[in-house]
Amino acid sequence: MTSVTTAYRLVDLLLSYETVPDDSFVGHLPPSSWQTLLEAAPAIHTYARDELLPMTAEDRYVYIVTRGCVRQDRFPLGAGEGVPTITRFRGVGQFLGEAKLIAPASHVLTRCLSETEVIRWRVRYMNVLHRRRPEVQLALLRSLEDRNRSDELVYSMTTRPPFERVSRLIAHLADIAGVPDPDTAGRTTITGPSQRDMAAALQLGISSVESAIRSLRYQGILDAGYRKFTVLDLEGLRHFTTGA
């Protein structure tokens, strides 16, 4: 069941503006525009792990993730057993449901991989805001271009070795959904995605993902638990993503 947090928490979001990823929608927004959006949002909505966001054809909202991680699945050949699926992960500061701004009935299956907080706005409000404040529309366009380039690098390099691809995905998850350890530099915890989720996103076998994670653990880069990964050495992890 969805719980709703009262609006006073929005003050915390204003204060945490500096911590969102630079290439996210929120990261591209001017501070004044972010404040305008927050003032128009009545509440923060909290969804439990494995709960679906209500991003259906009938839904008329767009969302921004403020905490947590979601998995989005698209079915380009139609839904059904064994059909190809395009899987992506989205995290803090990301804009969800952007297609509804031009095609209100569009939808994508969006599942929360951890307890996830989002703020939502009506599609009509967001379209009006884009016309009145072009910098908001520009921030969305920039974030979508950054997202596309990131997706190409993380998910589409299918000719690269599985170890490199898994390392790159974990580094990506650390960037978009990781919680840094305030006491230990380079240590970040990622909660939510499972090895099966990662295999689906990379279109790899589970055994390939498991093998890569074992290697990272052996080298002291990663500690893995059930739907939880702790990156012990983020710079060391990034070294494996360069293809060197």
**What is the pLDDT at residue 4?**
62
Q: Do domains 3-155 and 162-239 have the same CATH topology?
A: yes
Average pLDDT, the chain: 90
Task: Count how many Cα atoms sit within 13 Å of the Cα of residue 51 in the half-sphere of its side chain.
Answer: 16
Give residue-wise pLDDT tens across range 160-190.
Answer: 999 999 999 999 999 999 998 888 877 899 9
Topology (CATH level 3) of domain 162-239: Jelly Rolls (2.60.120)
| Of 7-16, 113-122, 207-216, 223-232, the least confident | 7-16
Number of neighbouring beta carbons within 10 Å of residue 63:
24
Give the DSSP H or E segment for 62: strand 61-67
Give the DSSP H or E segment for 162: helix 162-177
Which pairs from 26-32 meet CB under 8 Å and 24+ separation?
26/64, 26/92, 26/93, 27/93, 27/143, 28/138, 28/139, 28/140, 28/142, 28/143, 28/146, 29/135, 29/136, 29/139, 30/135, 30/139
DSSP count for the chain of H helices, then E strands: 9, 12
Give residue-wise pLDDT tens across range 148-162.
Answer: 999 999 999 999 999
The answer regarding whether domain 3-155 maps to CATH 2.120.10.30 reads no
Domain ranges (residues) in the chain:
3-155, 162-239
Higher pLDDT, 205 or 39: 205
